[in-house]
Structure 1
Amino acid sequence: MSFFQLHPRLHQDTFLVGHFALCKILLMNDKQYPWAILVPQRPDIAEIYQLKPGDRQQLLEESCRLAEALVALYHPDKLNIAAIGNLVPQLHLHHVARYRTDIAWPGPVWGKFAASAYTEQEAGIHIARLRESLQGHLIGD
């Protein structure tokens, strides 16, 4: 029997925000874009279709909840949601708040520019804002 473990690359590149019923909520360590990631806590899953039907529905609900929080907090011009997985095979959904003024607009954020890391204080502020916005929906609130 396998147990869920966060992929090492996601562990290295993100901060933990909290947990929904299904997913870990992570903040990407790149202050160029408000960028959160959902990771379903199920072992050995690479694609959405591999989730059980109930988990698929839960993933959609949690993605929408996170999307609403990001839009309310950051007021982006566009919110990009994507499950790419070319470098990290573990299923994860990127939620990237985009602005017409950001450095990668209108192209994708992947592979264009090196990440610009948050300071510990900056990361703490964004994590706190996300947690507050998601209050009542996080496990362990």
Structure 2
Amino acid sequence: MLLTVGWTTLWSINAVGNTELSAGAPSVQLAGAVTSMEGTDEPHVQALSGPPIPLEPASTVSQRNAVRTAKDYLDYTAFSRTGLVRQLEYEGFSTDDATFAVDHIAVDWNEQAAKAAKDYLDYSGFSRSGLIDQLEYEGFTPAQAAYGATAAGL
């Protein structure tokens, strides 16, 4: 079964058993939003249609601004998760908005640790343990810091 809400496909499951819709198939109501069930040309698939259902609570203007600012910072330089939250707080965002922003962007923290490690090595010489200590001080986890040092060649 293919569940579609508005223009977004939420999930799909291959139907088991009878997959044909009869001409008199009743309309279906799901969470008060799905208004009809339609067959498709694809075998073993049925589509539900209706108005969009919000998948999570709407964000506030401040949260959206924090998300945009977090993305801008990551375009500029590498941050650890905690370092990015601290930077957003420094910019005047509340802890809740800063945390919301960091939790609502896609970030590979290992990649950020690797970028930060390379930046540090471009600036100064470090031993492996010294670089790992510096990355941990910046808020990377021990595993992320070790990954960053390895990615940077140490």
- When Rg is computed on C-alpha atoms for both structures, the one with the higher figure is 2
TM-score with structure 2 setting the length: 0.26
Output the TM-score relative to the length of structure 1.
Answer: 0.27
More strand per residue? 1
> Whose helix fraction is larger, Structure 1's or Structure 2's?
2
